[in-house]
Amino acid sequence: MVKSLKRGPELYSGKAKTIYLTEDDHFLIMHYRDDATAFNAQKKESFSRKGLVNNYFNAYIMGKLQEAGISTHFEQLLSDHESLVKRLNMIPLECVVRNVATGSLVKRLGVQEGLSLEPPILEFFLKDDSLGDPAVNDSHIHTFKWATDEQVAQMKRISLEVNELLKPLFLNAGMILIDYKLEFGLFGDSLMLGDEFTPDGCRIWDAVTFKKMDKDRFRQDLGNLIETYEEVAERLGIKIPNATSLCDS
Ligand code: 5GP
């Protein structure tokens, strides 16, 4: 059932989404814009359909996770660019799970690009643009009280559960889930997955050709960003409308 909550004032505008209050304190509206940014917003561009594709993509993945019993803030799609979510008190950390070595892991540790990581590596980063989201460990999180030890254990457990669910989902569609970033928050006392899961915040490679099918296409000027996001969606069976099907308010 569609919750009929009206969009209220803007709460926050991030790099690719704008968050609005609603009449109900417990819910927010996430508006996926057409903007893409990289390198801490030093590189910026707008791509037609990006917001729409990411909105539907995220709804599909969050739905799959919820079906499997993982709590997320996602409530429902409201329109092509908007979704209703629970209002979480966000934990200021990014949890990154890596199945294959690439990106900052290769730069920081000098390991071989493309190395298969078994078991997967889980890393925490502090969400702080002014510091460039530095890597932090359990000891930093404990001492600086960014999360309790129990919350850290929960975030690790859920992050790896997400991997067990999504890795085969992508592989069955001919793609490798290389790595991804998750963010968590509290709804009352309940810790749950927040933010988004889209090709903006994960790496996906074609399983045969290793073609990059994620935001690295933008970061590395590889072209066809949205066409490739749509190809990922199509392979997963995600239905994305061609024209505006639901009315954006
Ligand atoms: P890396 O640490 O290699 O740069 O990124 C690891 C994974 O986390 C990649 O899938 C990357 O897209 C994602 N990631 C890390 N930080 C951010 C961020 O600030 N925003 C987004 N959208 N994704 C991020």
Digitized pLDDT (tens) for each residue of the chain, 249 residues in all: 557 899 999 999 999 999 999 999 999 999 999 999 999 999 999 999 999 999 999 999 999 999 999 999 999 999 999 999 999 999 999 999 999 999 999 999 999 999 999 999 999 999 999 999 999 999 999 999 999 999 999 999 999 999 999 999 999 999 999 999 999 999 999 999 999 999 999 999 999 999 999 999 999 999 999 999 999 999 999 999 984 444 444
* Ligand 1 shell residues, CB under 6 Å: 94, 96, 103-105, 133, 179-181, 200-203, 215
pLDDT of 2: 58
> Ligand 1, atom 12: nearest CA belongs to which residue?
201
Q: What angle do CA 190, 180, 197 make, to 5 degrees?
A: 60
Which residue from 181, 195, 203, 220 has its CB within 8 A of the most atoms of ligand 1, so it is best to mutate?
A: 181
Which residues are CB-neighbours of 189 under 8 A, at least 6 positions away? none
Distance 181 CA to ligand 1 centre (A): 6
| CA 24–ligand 1 middle distance (angstroms) | 31
**Structure tokens that stand for 239 in this block:** 């239905």
How many angstroms is it from 66 CA to the middle of ligand 1?
23
Q: What residues are paired with 7 via a beta bridge? A: 22
Q: What is the pLDDT of residue 4?
A: 84
Contact between 71 and 63 under an 8 Å Cβ cutoff? The reply is: no
**Interval between CA 189 and ligand 1 midpoint (Å):** 27
Quote the ligand 1 centre to 3 CA distance (angstroms).
32
pLDDT at 247: 43
Please tell me the pTM assigned to this model.
0.96
- pLDDT value of residue 86: 98
Alpha-carbon span 124 to 92, nearest angstrom:
10
Atom of ligand 1 nearest to the CA of 179: 10
pLDDT at residue number 242:
84
**Residue 97 CA to ligand 1 centre (angstroms):** 10
As a whole number of angstroms, the distance between CA 174 and CA 192 comes to 29
pLDDT reported for residue 97: 99
